[in-house]
Amino acid sequence: MLLGGPPAPRPGLAQQAGLGEFENQSDVGVTPRAGSAEFDAARGEYRIRGGGTNLWEGTDAFHFVWLRTSGDLNLAADVVWPQAGGNAHRKAGWMIRQSLEPDSPYVDAVVHGDGLTALQFRRTPGGLTEEVRARISAPTTIGLERHGDQFTLWAAGAGQAPNREGSIQLALHDPVYVGLLVCAHDAQALEEAVFSHVTLEHQAMSRAADPEPEVESSLETIAVDGKERKVVYHARGRFEAPNWSRDGKAWFFNRDGHIYVQPVSGGEPRLLDTGSATHCNNDHGLSPDGRLLAISNSPRDASLIYIVPTTGGGPRLITPTGPSYWHGWSPDGKTLAYCAERNGNFDIYTIPVEGGKETRLTTADGLDDGPDYSPDGKYIYFNSERTGLMQIWRMKPDGSGQEQITHDDYNNWFAHPSPDGKWLVFLTYERGVKGHPPNQRVMLRIMPLAGGSPRVLAKLFGGQGTINVPSWAPDCRHLAFVSYRLLKP
């Protein structure tokens, strides 16, 4: 269904005249000044004036032009603020909302008065609003896609191809309210936005089980308080496992067997020369001084660990026996920690960086994986399924003193202490998920290293490749991860 021309009335619905395809308009929340909207059929334009204090925290106040519908949706519109100099935080864009209550769960794709573009969402009634910020500022066109429980923001400048700027997982139950919004960010004011080339398309529901879906990957960063989440690089295909460089200027990730370096300042990633190691997987990471990169390379059947300079160069073999998967580097730079299969059992091992005999640290039945050192070198954190579900554990560097850290009803993987020793971040799957597969609804969770309960940092579509290896920023206030989106085949 395309909007923009004179629509036919829908049977059984009392449509308000002058709203095009939309059924009605409402002021949501406390709006001392009433909003309004008109549709110019000749121009295909919606001119919407809205008041309200904000779309944020636990309640909203704005003007909404909407219809009720169900299923997967592709939404797009050009958005213009005809009056310059308005409130920098005014918002205009698309919204998909559970109800017209001011505290309703929702997802929106909005452009602010100062050009900031974001995917905003509230997961539960009265819950705090979260957001994923786009790279682009003041786009000409903004879009919002719904495919099942996955919502994606895309945007484009004038004459440019659209870029997907972020995706989140959130459950909204059909039917939902879908439409255009304007919020003044000032209870005593009205702000006006003009929407043109408005498109609303329904599609059949997509599912992760569709045969061989194409994947899109987004490199994202998030602050430890969860309030600042941004997409910093996006591409079709699968890339995985970012490491944040020690100087804070780049991310290293793997794609199609190679290692790439993505500048924090922007631009396209460059291929890192790893010599003959051209089958790299997602277990790689930096030395404490940032000069070396440990990689796990699978030239045949078994993954082996090598070291290469971060400036590029030939690989030096560390583990002659495989499979071996790198996960941690000791703070003094002398020892590597890794997961390895020996005699049919996966356990945690260490080995000197200069090579030599490996040391087995765990002997429990089942999988032990994901070792990463605390910054003071006193502990190795890892995940183990020895008590049933996969949980986070820690031990001393010689393997003694093994103790369970998380005790919950989830499967927890890949724990990474922050460089300042304050936080532990890890990946969480639902109870029924076996292993650490891709294309799952997962959570990033964080907890104080000094003790305390985990809290959710982000919910996303991901799993394998999201945060397999250390990805903390040097400032300890942010970390990097990869989220994914499945495209219909």
Any idea where the domains of the chain sit in the sequence?
Answer: 24-203, 214-487
Which strands make up the sheet holding 72-80, listed edge to edge? 36-40, 45-50, 191-203, 72-80, 141-147, 150-156, 163-169
User: Cα–Cα distance between 140 and 137 in angstroms, integer?
Assistant: 9
**302 contacts 290 by C-beta, under 8 angstroms:** no
Measured distance between the N- and C-terminal CA atoms of the chain, rounded to whole angstroms: 21
* Cα(222)–Cα(472) distance, integer angstroms: 10
Q: Please name which of 411, 349, 350, 419 lies closest in space to residue 385, comparing C-alpha atoms.
A: 411
pLDDT of res. 227: 82
The answer to whether the Cα torsion of 203, 74, 269, 243 is positive or negative is negative
Neighbours of 291 (CB within 10 A): 12
Quote the radius of gyration of the chain (alpha carbons, Å): 25
Q: Which residue, chain included where needed, has tokens 């395809």?
A: 21
Distance in angstroms (rounded) separating the CA atoms of residues 481 and 221: 6
Q: How far apart are CA 431 and CA 436, in angstroms?
A: 12
Residues 6+ apart with CB under 8 A from 186: 51, 53, 87, 90
pLDDT of residue 211: 55
Q: Name the nearest CA neighbour of 200 among 67, 91, 111, 106.
A: 67
Helix (H) or strand (E) holding 293: strand 292-297
Residue type, 365: D
Is the omega angle on the peptide bond into residue 175 within 30 degrees of 0, that is, cis? yes
Nearest partner of 66 among 19, 103, 33, judged by Cα? 19
214-487 CATH fold: Neuraminidase (2.120.10)
Q: Do the two domains 24-203 and 214-487 of this chain adopt the same fold?
A: no
**Which of 100, 82, 81 has its CA nearest to residue 91?**
81
Tell me the pLDDT tens digit for each residue of 38-84.
999 888 999 999 999 999 999 999 999 999 999 999 999 999 999 98
Assigned token pair, 127: 């819950």
**CA 4 – CA 236 distance, rounded (Å):** 30
What is the pLDDT, as a whole number, of residue 255? Answer: 98
Q: How many CB atoms lie within 10 A of CB 34?
A: 11
Q: Which amino acid is at 27?
A: D
pLDDT at position 488: 66
AA letter at 43: R
Residue 21's pLDDT is: 86
Greatest alpha-carbon pair distance for the chain in Å reads 79
pLDDT of residue 299: 81
Residue 446, token pair as written in the block: 């964080």
pLDDT in tens, the chain (489 residues): 333 333 333 333 334 657 988 999 999 999 999 999 999 988 899 999 999 999 999 999 999 999 999 999 999 999 999 998 889 999 999 999 999 999 999 999 999 999 999 999 999 999 999 999 999 999 999 999 999 999 999 999 987 878 889 999 999 999 999 999 999 999 999 999 999 999 998 875 444 444 567 899 999 999 999 888 999 999 999 999 999 999 999 999 999 999 999 999 999 999 999 999 999 999 999 999 999 999 999 987 799 999 999 999 999 999 999 999 999 999 999 999 999 999 999 999 999 999 899 999 999 999 999 999 999 999 999 999 999 999 999 999 999 999 999 999 999 999 999 999 999 999 999 999 999 999 998 999 999 999 899 999 998 899 999 999 999 999 999 999 999 988 765
CATH number for the domain running over 24-203? 2.60.120.200
Beta-bridge partners for 342: 345
Neighbours of 418 (CB within 10 A): 21
